Amino acid sequence: MEILVACDSFKESLTAEAVVEAIVTGFSDIFPQARYHAFPMADGGEGTAAIMARTLGGQLERRLVCGPLGVPVAARFAVLNEGRTALIELAEAAGLAQVPPESREPLFTTTRGVGELMLAALDLGCEHLVLALGGSATCDGGAGLLQALGVSLRDLRGEEIAQGGGPLGSVFTLDDAKLDPRLAGCRIEILCDVTAPLLGESGAAAVFGPQKGATPPMVTILNGALARLSSLLEARCGRDLSMDAGMGAAGGTALGLVALCGATLVPGAGAIARLLGLDTLMSQVDLVITGEGRLDGQTAQGKAPHAIASMARQAGKPVLAFAGTLGEDCEKLYELGFDALFSSLDRPCSLEEALSDAAPSLRRCARNVAAGLAVGRSFQAVQE
């Protein structure tokens, strides 16, 4: 019997690696002869680059780049596929976690360091760039990223605009004549599970700006600045991208890459699963196990377990899912390829107890589920 175990982390308690290990250990108590394919998962958020490098045997490259506040930070990206693919995690160079709460003001934070990581990947000869959005501290429409790649953004006086979403409102001209020519030979994929457009009440500034420290007046300024950049890019590429689904992710970071470099937005968890080769592996296994910290109605909105279950369903494989807790509307997941859902909590307890006992609880739960499968197989054999 071959079993695929592909799980995301249980936030605040277990890493994706620890989740996979606990499930494999529990199942091995009952099925020691089974062959286990262990794949810690991510959906494009923080930690994606490190997980991919470890799982695929790639390497992590580290560079000193411009941080979200303009101060240099040490950022990592993963080099995969024998050096042909680079997975760049925006949060490494422009993440909210790098900005102290008292300094969170998206009028001044920048994505420049993300562009510098892209240049570093090009210097290594990578031809496939995968940019994972998530956890950003920025709302500059990717202006800093574009400037790092060679695009000139100038104000009425002909001077290059300063960093951040605030100065972006003064941009008057956009010149991409010096955009790094190596990008023309690259395939650029942007991992994005957000459907928000760039502008308006459901856009980058209005929805995500407050999470990054924006006050209502700042939201108005940022929305106007993003509209200005969008209009300049529309004049350059002939397309109005401002209301396209996903353009509001990470403060509009994808905007310029789509307009000037032909980048495509793809669901993060599904793309990660394909990079790991799970779509091919599905046909070889007998059982698929997935999970995350909480399984509920939001799991179907681009989360890793949903991507895994969708692939398994297409391959005709049964899917079991483990979680710390089962939340509201989790029953809807049965219609999406999940055959059974299990909570690892085995007793009433406080949140602190649940978090501290997460690994042994999950291990016990996996062992009991495996034992149930074994009993079922034995009973079926007797009936036959």
Residue extents of the structural domains in the chain? 2-41+277-383, 48-268
Helices (H), the chain: 16-30, 48-56, 90-94, 112-123, 143-148, 216-237, 254-261, 268-275, 278-281, 304-315, 351-356, 358-383
301-320 pLDDT, tens digit per residue, is 778 899 899 999 999 999 99
| Residue 9 C-alpha from the chain's centroid | 13
Spell out the CATH class of 48-268.
Answer: alpha beta
pLDDT of the residue at 304: 87
- Reported as a pLDDT band with limits 50, 70 and 90, residue 127 is very high
Check: CATH 3.40.1360.10 for 2-41+277-383? no
Identical fold between 2-41+277-383 and 48-268: no
Determine the Cα–Cα distance for residues 169 and 166; give it in Å rounded to an integer. Answer: 6
Structure tokens at 281: 């592996």
Lowest pLDDT segment from 31-40, 78-87, 155-164, 266-275: 266-275
Taking phi over 0 as left and psi of -120 to 50 as alpha, with beta for the rest, 203 belongs to beta
When comparing pLDDT for 379 and 162, which is higher?
Answer: 162
Does the pTM of the predicted model rise above 0.75? yes
- For residue 92, the model assigns a pLDDT of 94
Is the pLDDT assigned to residue 98 strictly greater than 80? Answer: yes
